[in-house]
Structure 1
Amino acid sequence: MPELPEVETTCRGIRPHVKGRVVTDVVVRNGRLRWPVDTQLASIISGSTLREVSRRAKYVMLTFDAGVLLVHLGMSGSLRVIEPGAAIGKHDHIDVVFGRALALRFNDPRRFGAFVWHGDAATIDAHALLAHLGPEPLSEDFSGDYLYTQARNKKTPLKSFIMDAKVVVGVGNIYANEALFAAGLHPLKDAGKLTRPKAARLVAEIKTVLAHAIERGGTTLRDFVGGDGKPGYFAQELNVYGHGGKPCPRCAKALTEKRLQNRTTVYCSNCQK
């Protein structure tokens, strides 16, 4: 499933190609995504200039003068730059066309993704899909003091806590495993036991892990590709995720693998306390 680094990689990949271009058409081959695509989308944004490509949590935000198109990649989606007239694949559901130069193609085999139009760019932060979200993990708003305060009296397992988008966005399962290992913190301990120094250390490691994953183009485990069609390479550098039963890279003790809220959780019972 594309997480924050993969979505950020997508934004960075497509931005130089489409920012400032005028939409000439929107071709919707299958609008039955997580929510039905607005049947008037083509008429709404055709003739409009794409002013900015940005990201909030795991949403790609395509900003026009008239509003914002929120794109979610779902479980298996991708948003790529293609040449108009390129061969159409089975799961190529939507093309946002920019004249004869190029198009943005949305491919989503499972159709859990979304194309949601919001007709007022100034109020996008209040949209129902965004209003409840916590701070961006790479922003100054996400700090050790913030995490410590949010964790007070919480009985939630620490891994589940940092994966809660109301606490902080974008810390998906892979990155939560890696950050907790780097910080030396046990994923199953109550979040409320997090001390201020440990909170600061965990925040620092979350920022480091996510920033490095973005630099490496995200993590390709199944079928994610970035905006340029190339896979991410962070998977080659994972310390614990996917390595259950293998030696810990620090102490060589076998890594423990468990299921937590139906997610794979891998940790070292010796190094993570």
Structure 2
Amino acid sequence: MPELPEVETTRRGIATVMPGQALRALNVFEPRLRWPVPADLPDRVKNQVVRACERRGKYLLITFDHGVMIVHLGMSGSLRRALPDEPAKKHDHVEWRFDDARFLLHDPRRFGAVLWHDLADGPVLAHPLLAKLGIEPFDDAFTAQYLFNGLRGRTQNIKQALLGGDIVVGVGNIYASEALFRARINPRIKAGSLSLARAERLWTSIKSTLSDALTSGGSTLRDYVNATGTPGSYFEIHAAVYDRAGQPCRMCQTPIKRIVQGQRATYYCPSCQRR
């Protein structure tokens, strides 16, 4: 699934083009995404000027004067810039067409979303999909103490606590495994058992892992590409454990182990990340 670095990389890409431009047409080729694309959405935004391209968690927020388009890339989707006459590919479901640019939402599994929040309904951050999200990992308010306080009393394993997104957003399955490895924390331990010192290590690792991923443009897993159609390079440069089951740990040469937690694959080094 595209995680925070991939979504932020996409946001930065569209933010260099969309703001200040009138959206001449929103063409919906397949409305049956995770939630149906509102039938009246093309008419709502036709010839309306995009004011900003923002992000909350894994949601892209394309802002107009009268509302916000909420876009999610789903499990394996991407939002890429296309050439003016480039034919839409299979699984290209929604097109944003401007005077000098067009973007296509590619979503093979149709788990993504293109929704509308009207300004008359209040702040977009109060939308049900956004209201309960945790703090952003690069927010100044996200501190080691904040993380420690959020984990206290939790009996679920630390990996699942990170994936929940109600403490901090954006630490999805891929980067949770990587951050836990950097912090030398076993993914199976109870979240509430972390000491403040270990929470500080995890806090540092979360920020550094996501920062490295942003610098390299996200991952190259599956068919993720950024807004320019370019794949990221995180896994070519940084990946220590994710998707490396059976391969030697880069630190101690112990074979990387793969387990399943909450129906998601977890990778860790049994030597570096002892319980």
Residues in 2 aligned to 1:200 and 1:48: alpha-carbon distance in whole angstroms? 46
- Letter paired with 1:270: S
Residue matched to 1:97: 97
Return the letter of the residue paired with 1:254: P
Q: Which amino acid aligns with 1:112?
A: F
1:45-82 alpha-carbon deviations (Å, 9 max, x no partner): 11211111111110111011111000000012111122
Task: Tell me the distance in 2 between the aligned counterparts of 1:181 and 1:234.
Answer: 15
Residue equivalent to 2:112 = 113
Q: Secondary structure at the match of 1:137?
A: coil
In the alignment, residue 58 of structure 2 is paired with which amino acid?
K
Matched residue, 2:245: 244
Number of residue pairs the alignment of both structures matches: 272
Question: How far off is 1:98 after superposition?
Answer: 1.0
Give structure 1 stretches of 5+ with no counterpart. Answer: none
Between 1:1-10 and 1:240-249, the stretch displaced more is 240-249
Gap runs ≥5 in structure 2: none
Note the alpha carbon deviations across 1:160-196, whole angstroms, 9 max, x for none: 1111111211101110111011011111001111111
How far apart are the structure 1 equivalents of 2:42 and 2:249?
Answer: 52
Q: TM-score, normalised by structure 2?
A: 0.95
CA distance in 2: counterparts of 1:252 and 1:30, whole angstroms = 48
Cα RMSD for the two superposed structures:
1.3
Q: Paired residue for 1:257?
A: 258
* Match runs of 1:151-166 below 5 Å: 151-166=151-166
User: 1:241-263, CA deviations, whole angstroms, 9 ceiling, x for partnerless residues?
Assistant: 11122222112222222111111
Tell me, what secondary structure is at the counterpart of 2:80? strand
CA distance in structure 2 between the aligned counterparts of 1:200 and 1:164, rounded to whole angstroms: 19
| Corresponding position of 1:49 | 49
SS at the partner of 1:17? coil
Aligned pairs for 1:161-240 (under 5 A) are 161-236=161-236, 237-240=238-241
Which residue is equivalent to 1:25? 25
Partner of 2:74: 74
Give the match's secondary structure for 1:6. helix
Residue 85 of structure 1 deviates from its aligned partner by 3.2
